[in-house]
Structure 1
Amino acid sequence: MIDPKLLRDEPDRVRAAQAKRGLSDDVVDRALSADSARRAAIVEFERFRGEQKQLGKLIPKATGDEKVALLEQTKKLAASVKEAEAAQAAAEEEWSTALRSIPNVAADETPAGGEDDFVILETVGTPRDFAAEGFEPRDHIELGKLLGAIDIERGAKVSGSRFYFLTGVGAQLELALINLAMDQAREAGFTQMIAPSLVKPRAMEGTGFLDQAADDVYRVEGQDLYLVGTSEVAMAAYHSDEILDGATLPRRYAAFSPCFRKEAGSHGKDTKGIIRVHWFDKVEMFVYTTLEDAAAEHERLLAWEKEFLNKLELAYQVIDVAAGDLGPSAMRKFDCEAWIPTQGKYRELTSASNCTDFQTRRLDTRGRFEDGTKPIATLNGTLCAMTRTIVAVLETHQQADGSVRVPEALRPYLQGREVLEPLGG
């Protein structure tokens, strides 16, 4: 959640941030009103409690009718205290609910608007001109069949639409990508992690995924557990209710986990192939750092993502995501979008988000520094989301005969193979 001090001291800044996201600023007034009511309720409760304590000191010294009167007064005061305590609890709950309904304040640099209002920061590489090479590119579905790499029909038979099997070289390609990503992360100083895909409600709510994205989350019926859509959720909760030594920051983790998404609202979009699926594996970078260093760490995460895409020899663009397309936790987000030849456009492959202290305030994670204990920041960045990366690699590096050239950086993880050959080829 946002810093309550920011809301009290700079409400117009919060209102402007709401407008930048295309959201109503009514919640700001509601939160300020709830804060005033909460403070008044605290004062009222403390007043009654003070009177109750004062009476408690007088009763042992009183006798006769005076003592009877004081006891009667104490009984009435106890009811008032109980009522004031309930009113304070209700006011606290209303304040907390209102505060939690306000998303992170978008950075000044974040473009205003919605999904289509992003700003292109950089374009890397040049998309292949297949016409100049004399052949029409095949899509990843056809290539997957030729290579014996992707089985969508049996995925649908076993699990339903938007599921798949990776088979043969398809499975080997995913494992190669995982190992390449994990090796890069380890060499950059990240601690490698295997994170759980099932988490408690507090982890999901603490990261903001039960706010705007609740419809896209799988809940396990009959159990107080959710399936994560990213290991960001588990990693943000990893240090919940802890005070970290500031000298140990930044703490960088690279977590592998399966991810699950309902893809709510995507009816009719990417219904074929493995671009948009209900389950995929991912290597996610997650960082705890100081608020002062968060912006610089955000740039570093983006640089590591670009390094990985460069190793895969992909053409891509980097965009600054508009405020209305940010999740509630992020104040700024960079996406790397790879060129998908058969779609003739760039598609998101990685994201890097700066969440400042939004998640750590919800999950009660702080840092201990020489000048005291204070909030810290979290950031997350996709290093490799498997299915979309496989799509980009297959389509980008395909050859006229249906084979696929293996990027040089991946070859050591594929037993030195330079080319993935069609079955029977």
Structure 2
Amino acid sequence: MIDLRLLREDPDRVRASQRARGEDVALVDALLSADERRRSSGVRFDELRAEQKGLGKLIPKASADEKTELLKRAEQLKADVKAADAERDAADAETQQLLLQLGNLVHTDVPVGGEEDFVTLETHGEIRDFTAEGFEPKDHLALGQLLGAIDVERGAKVSGSRFYFLTGVGALLELALVNAAMAQATAAGFTPMLTPALVRPQSMAGTGFLGQASQDVYHLDKDDLYLVGTSEVALAAYHMDEIIDAERLPLRYAGFSPCFRREAGSHGKDTRGIFRVHQFDKVEMFSYVAPEDSQAEHQRLLDWEKQWLTALELPFRVIDVASGDLGASASRKFDCEAWIPTQGKYRELTSTSDCTEFQSRRLQIRVREGKQVKPLATLNGTLCAVPRTIVAILENHQQADGSVRVPEVLRPYLGGREVLEPVAK
């Protein structure tokens, strides 16, 4: 959530942020009104309580006639205090409820617009010309079947659409990717983490995933637990309700977990293969830093993502995501999109978001600097979303006979294997 003081001091900035997101600007005025009621009712309660305490001291000293009047006033004050307390609680609850609906403030450098209004910041690698090489590229599913690596038919039989099996070398490729990604993250100073896939509502809400993103979240009603769509949730809530000494910052974690997404609203999109699925594994970077360091940390996370995709020898571009395509918690977001040959376009492989103080305020995570205690900043960055990375590797490194060249960075994790060979025609 944002700082209420900032809302009071500069409501136009918050209105502009809401407008850039394409969200309800009237929410800002409703929140200002609720906050005013919360503060005025709090003042009213404090005044009545002070009078009530003062009256309590006068009654024992009063004469009989005065005591009668004071007791009558005391009864009235008791009722007034109770009413003021209820009014204050109601106004506070309304303020909090409205505040939770408000997205993070959009960074001033973010391009304004919808999904297609991103700005390309840079491109890396060369796109292969398969025509010049004399063959038509196969898509990742055809390659996966040739390699005995992907089985979507049995995935659908067992679990339904958008589920799959990674088999044989496909399973080994996932393990190689996870181990290589974790090795890079560890070398960069991240603490490896295996995180829970089920979290409590306060963890999911605290990271901002029960607002606009709630339609994509799986909920277990019987247990009131949520399946995470990213280990960002568990990593953000890891220090929930804690105060961290400034000397410990930055704290950096690399979480590995299964991820679950309903993919609501994606009917008909990416139905072939494993690009858009309901369950997948992912290595996620997560940082806790001082607020003034968040922009520099954001660039560092992006640089680590670029290092990873370069090591995988994939052509990719970096985009500055437009305001209307940001998640509720992100102030700014960069995506790295890999070239997918059979689709003839770049597709998102990794992303990194600067969430500033938005999540830490909701999760009550603070930093202590001397005698001062204040919210800190959180950031996240995908290092390896496994299925999409497999898609990009298979399609970009395929050879005319259906084999796939293994990027050098993965070879030590695949027993030195340089090529994945077809096992079926």
TM-score above 0.5, yes or no? yes
Match of 2:165 in 1: 165
- Aligned-pair CA distance for 1:132: 0.6
1:130 matched to which residue of 2?
Answer: 130
The residue type paired with residue 214 of structure 1 is S
**1:31 paired residue number:** 31
Number of the residue aligned with 1:419: 419
Contact kept in structure 1, 2:146 and 2:424, CA below 8 Å: no
Structure 1 residue runs of 4+, over 6 Å off?
A: none
Match of 2:241 in 1: 241
What is the SS of the residue equivalent to 2:212? coil
Q: Which runs of 5+ in 1 are unaligned?
A: none
Cα distance in 1, alignment partners of residues 235 and 68 from structure 2: 60
Per-residue deviation, 1:96 = 1.2
* CA positional deviation for 1:24: 2.5
Q: Where do residues 215-226 of structure 1 align in structure 2 (5 Å cutoff)?
A: 215-226=215-226
Counterparts of 1:23 and 1:359, CA distance in 2: 19
Contact 2:59 2:71 in 1 (8 A): yes
2:403 is aligned with what amino acid? S
Question: Counterparts of 2:134 and 2:354 in 1: how far apart (Å)?
Answer: 44
Q: Which moved more, 1:279-288 or 1:69-78?
A: 69-78
Task: Give distance in 1, aligned partners of 2:78 and 2:4.
Answer: 32
Query: Mind listing any 5+ residue stretches in structure 2 that lack a counterpart?
Result: none
Please state how far the C-alpha of 1:112 moved relative to its aligned partner: 0.2
Q: Indicate the residue corresponding to 2:76 in structure 1.
A: 76
Per the alignment, residue 59 of structure 2 pairs with 59
- Of the structure 1 ranges 229-238 and 54-63, higher mean CA displacement relative to structure 2 is found in 54-63
SS at structure 1 position matched to 2:291? coil
Give, in whole Å, the separation in 2 of the partners of 1:99 and 1:226.
22
2:204 paired with 1:211: no
Deviates more, 1:89-98 or 1:112-121: 89-98
The yes-or-no answer on 1:378 pairing with 2:394 is no
Residues in 2 aligned to 1:224 and 1:45: alpha-carbon distance in whole angstroms: 36
Equivalent runs, 1:287-306 vs 2, <5 Å: 287-306=287-306
Q: Hey, what's the Cα distance between the residues in 2 that align with 1:77 and 1:290?
A: 46
Contact 2:148 2:424 in 1 (8 A): no
Q: Render the CA deviation track for 1:310-331: whole Å, top value 9, x for unaligned.
A: 1110000000000100001000
TM-score (norm 1): 0.98
Distance 2:319 2:64 in 1: 81
SS at match of 1:127: coil
Q: Deviations for 1:27-74, whole angstroms, at most 9, x for unmatched residues?
A: 111111111111110111112111111111112223434323322321
- Cα distance in structure 1, aligned partners of 2:63 and 2:419: 99
User: Over residues 315-356 of structure 1, what are the superposed CA-to-partner deviations in whole Å (9 max), with x where a residue is unaligned?
Assistant: 000000001000010000000000011111000000000000
> Within 5 A, what are the aligned runs for 1:258-407?
258-370=258-370, 372-407=372-407
Deviation at 1:263, TM superposition (A): 0.3
Which amino acid in the other structure matches residue 350 of structure 1? T
Alignment of 1:97-176 (within 5 A): 97-176=97-176
Task: Give the corresponding residue for 2:253.
Answer: 253
Letter in 1 for 2:54: Q
SS in 1 for 2:401: coil
Distance in 2, matches of 1:9 and 1:111, equals 25
- State the Cα distance separating 1:359 from its structure 2 match: 0.2
- Give the length in aligned residue pairs: 425
* Partner SS for 1:292: helix
Q: Secondary structure at the match of 1:304?
A: helix
Contact 2:147 2:424 (8 Å CA) reproduced: no
Q: What's the offset of the Cα at 1:371? A: 5.6
What SS does the corresponding residue of 1:347 show, helix, strand or coil? strand
Q: Please report how far the alpha carbon of residue 370 of structure 1 lies from its aligned counterpart in structure 2 after TM superposition.
A: 2.6
Residue by residue over 1:354-395, the C-alpha shift from the partner in whole angstroms, topping out at 9 and shown as x without a partner, is: 000000000000101136111110000000000000000011
Larger mean Cα displacement after TM superposition, 60-69 or 280-289: 60-69
Q: Distance in 1 between matches of 2:78 and 2:41?
A: 16
**2:327 match: secondary structure:** coil
RMSD between aligned residues: 1.0
Is residue 227 from structure 1 mapped to residue 230 from structure 2 by the alignment? no
Q: CA deviation at 1:109?
A: 0.8
